[in-house]
Structure 1
């Protein structure tokens, strides 16, 4: 026997298959280059508290350190000194709270955290979802849906907990008037700004993931529509200084979506467990109504009666009629689109359930007819079950 040649399973370097298989490692190497900027501290800056305005770039280390501006949030506005009482020592201490606003350099930070989201996506896929898929032996359709629900479920859970923590810490739930009071809300705490940066980074990472995950061509338009809706609404809330309202609506929406994806994961493990979908359907409708109510209350009434009116880009105020109407129209159109998709989804589920019930009834009805024909159920015919079937004579 001749020696069999080994098949080269490794795809050619820089081919499509190579990039897809190793995209997490490639992105990790790119992110490591940016992280190198945190290792050098030899630069001298004109304003040490804000590295955005650095002016001395004399050394090579300085050029590398400039890469660190992608990692940290920018535009520190001022430092507020807070005097609080220590309950243990009975003394007082001074702490500083950094407030931020947005700017063009946030685009670089969003890009870096988009790379981080791609890496986290690959880690969850390889170390969690792929192991479960190998044990459950899903079909191709269930495999893709399970991966989608697993990834989005993890993201929604993390975003809900983080967003709820910000809402509680800033007393936005206990004081709804703060959603529009004091507009424009140009200054944000670190958590608020970082939350929006991470949200934009995650939904931007979903676009190259369509290529990395080999998404079917017929599913790409649907995915792009949802990704675009998230990016438009989150960016709008961030740029128009409606970050408080946007945070409340995001947490509300993410909670409902989290329940759906958890219900779908439970359904894949056991198809008889469908109670979660019923609870999700009720909360979905309530979530849409609450979203519309908060939007109309904040944008339609709260901002309309605010002290600062007019368009002032220097102060970050967009409180004019055209902007308010555009924001409400965008929110209402999106909610109507989601309700339309929800109704179609429920109708499709009901039709599939009705077809399943019909198929289950057909075999039972055919069995009962055959039993009646064979003399079961008390009626025995002349050529029924009591008389054996006559054998055919063999032709000689």
Structure 2
């Protein structure tokens, strides 16, 4: 794929071809909408009912408001676990065969004329389409939570980062960044599902793995390897004497630093949850930032955040 800019910072006339690729992302977004409708009705509903029924010896009351709300949240987590898990398996299999995946010095080697292989292209469009869908779902479908504005900002920044890194041929490092983030989300959704089904040990283990992966991948590897590469290694490939090269360099790094700010913000919440986890002797405990959106949600007592899992005990 031709990049948005040549190595000298001159706009490539064939860049419009890359922009048309985002039609695929739109198709993915609509596809996710209909896929989730189907899975919610015919698959996730049955799984969620089974999970909740295993948490109690008595039959679950489907006409109970708190039960219905818990089912909705459980189905949300099943959907996200399916997506993040499938994407992580796919991209790890692809990256396993790429020499640049484990060498930061190769992230920009040959840029901007790096070969864009079909699996990476589909992975990019799939992720971009998912976050397009996620914005719409956040507005009109999923449970409205107190950190709505933060979640929306995160989704928008992610879409911009995906599109910008694709158009500028930074798709190598972009694929690594997405894979790092999806790994933590797999543990997060697993922990939430365990909590909904009252599997306290599974919830505690899942949350612990989630917190550990967050620390290692998003607060250590992401800033000290990824952002360091985009701040230092990229200078050898971008013409900083040109206005376009300078704008590209600072725009990309600003987006990554914005993402890091989100990571630090949610890490604060995770640390608070760890403290409560220890206080409650291994049980994922009280919500530190719950918001009353409705009586149903207030009674249910479950709150989740992009990148952080928090629950409130009754």
> Which residue of the partner structure matches residue 121 of structure 2?
193
Structure 1 residue 185 displacement after superposition: 4.2
Q: Which runs of 5+ in 2 are unaligned?
A: 4-14, 53-59, 61-65, 283-314
2:29–2:133: 8 Å Cα contact kept in structure 1? yes
TM-score w.r.t. the length of structure 2 is: 0.70
> Which residue of the partner structure matches residue 305 of structure 2?
none
Q: Distance in 2 between matches of 1:236 and 1:301?
A: 19
1:185–1:242: 8 Å Cα contact kept in structure 2? no
Q: Of the candidates 198, 205, 221, which is equivalent to residue 149 of structure 2?
A: 221
> Which residue of the partner structure matches residue 267 of structure 2?
342
Q: Does 1:298 find its partner at 2:229? A: yes
Structure 1 residue 154 displacement after superposition: 0.8
Deviation readout 1:278-329 (Å, 9 max, x if unpaired): 12212211112101122233212212123x625889xxxx6x3443233223
TM-score w.r.t. the length of structure 1 is: 0.57
**RCO comparison, higher one (Cα < 8 Å, 6+):** 2
Q: Of the candidates 223, 227, 231, which is equivalent to residue 159 of structure 2?
A: 231
1:135-146 correspondence to structure 2 within 5 Å: 135=50, 136=52, 137=60, 139-140=67-68, 142-146=70-74
Deviation readout 1:188-222 (Å, 9 max, x if unpaired): 11112121111111111123323552633756434
Tell me the matched-pair count.
Answer: 255
Q: Does 1:280 find its partner at 2:210? A: yes
Secondary structure of the 1:257 match is helix
Secondary structure of the 1:335 match is helix
Alignment CA distance shift 1:223-1:142 (3 Å)? farther
> Which residue of the partner structure matches residue 165 of structure 1?
93
Q: Of the candidates 261, 271, 275, which is equivalent to residue 200 of structure 2?
A: 271
Q: Which runs of 5+ in 1 are unaligned?
A: 1-74, 78-99, 358-396
Structure 1 residue 252 displacement after superposition: 1.3
Alignment CA distance shift 1:294-1:151 (3 Å)? same
1:352-363 correspondence to structure 2 within 5 Å: 354=279
Q: Distance in 2 between matches of 1:201 and 1:296?
A: 24
Larger radius of gyration: 1
2:32–2:133: 8 Å Cα contact kept in structure 1? yes
Which is helix-richer, 1 or 2? 2
Which is strand-richer, 1 or 2? 1
> Which residue of the partner structure matches residue 369 of structure 1?
none
CA RMSD of aligned residues (A): 3.1
